[in-house]
């Protein structure tokens, strides 16, 4: 990994640091026990057996907003993936297909793992996500497929992960 300045409130972590398994406070998780079944009024995901799933909502389902739709509404991502470098610019379309395919695969089983936005600026692409594990998976998939320089910066107070991939 190259030398970078770590923003205040963040700490650099290794790719397989156990910090991802820690229980952290997340303002986007339900504060109390969510009634089951509940259906998200935005995306239609159903909260059943303690987790959000893609199911047919029963007619008597309670109405709620899932954490992913809540984050999207608030424009408050949990994950940030920054991609840059000459190799990235030369292979951007192929690399973005890998990112989108990874998200589609994850989202089939995990409705809370979504891309929020893709932004371009000066040859750099920023992908924001509703979930830290999704953005970590993007970084691992990119590094596995193309190598390059991969850095993770996790902020436990905000349950926020920034991944930077340069190649």
pLDDT at 27: 66
Rounded to an integer, the average pLDDT of 148-158 is 94
- Both structure tokens of 160: 């926020």
Provide the 8-state DSSP code for 78: S
pLDDT at 22: 43
For the chain, the C-alpha Rg in angstroms (whole number) is 17
Question: Residue 23: which pLDDT band, with cuts at 50, 70 and 90?
Answer: very low
Q: In what order do the strands lie in the sheet with 124-129?
A: 11-13, 149-155, 160-166, 79-84, 124-129, 115-121
Q: How far apart are CA 116 and CA 83, in angstroms?
A: 16
Q: Which of 155, 163, 94, 158 is closest to 134 using CA atoms?
A: 163
Asked whether 145 and 118 are in contact (CB, 8 A), the reply is no
> pTM for the whole thing?
0.82
């Amino acid at each position: 990994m190259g030398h970078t300045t770590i923003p205040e409130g963040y700490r650099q972590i290794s790719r397989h640091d156990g910090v991802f398994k820690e229980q952290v406070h997340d303002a986007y998780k339900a504060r109390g026990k969510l009634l089951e079944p509940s259906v998200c009024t935005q995306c239609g995901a159903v909260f059943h057996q303690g987790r959000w799933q893609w199911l047919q909502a029963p007619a008597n389902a309670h109405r709620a907003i899932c954490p992913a739709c809540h984050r999207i509404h608030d424009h408050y991502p949990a994950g940030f993936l920054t991609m840059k470098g000459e190799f990235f610019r030369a292979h951007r379309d192929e690399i973005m297909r890998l990112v989108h395919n990874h998200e589609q695969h994850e989202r089939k089983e995990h409705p809370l793992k979504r891309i929020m936005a893709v932004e371009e600026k000066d040859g750099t692409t920023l992908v924001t996500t509703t979930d830290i594990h999704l953005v970590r998976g993007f970084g691992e998939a990119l590094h596995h497929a193309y190598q390059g320089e991969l850095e993770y910066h996790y902020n436990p107070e905000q349950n926020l992960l920034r991944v930077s991939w340069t190649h």
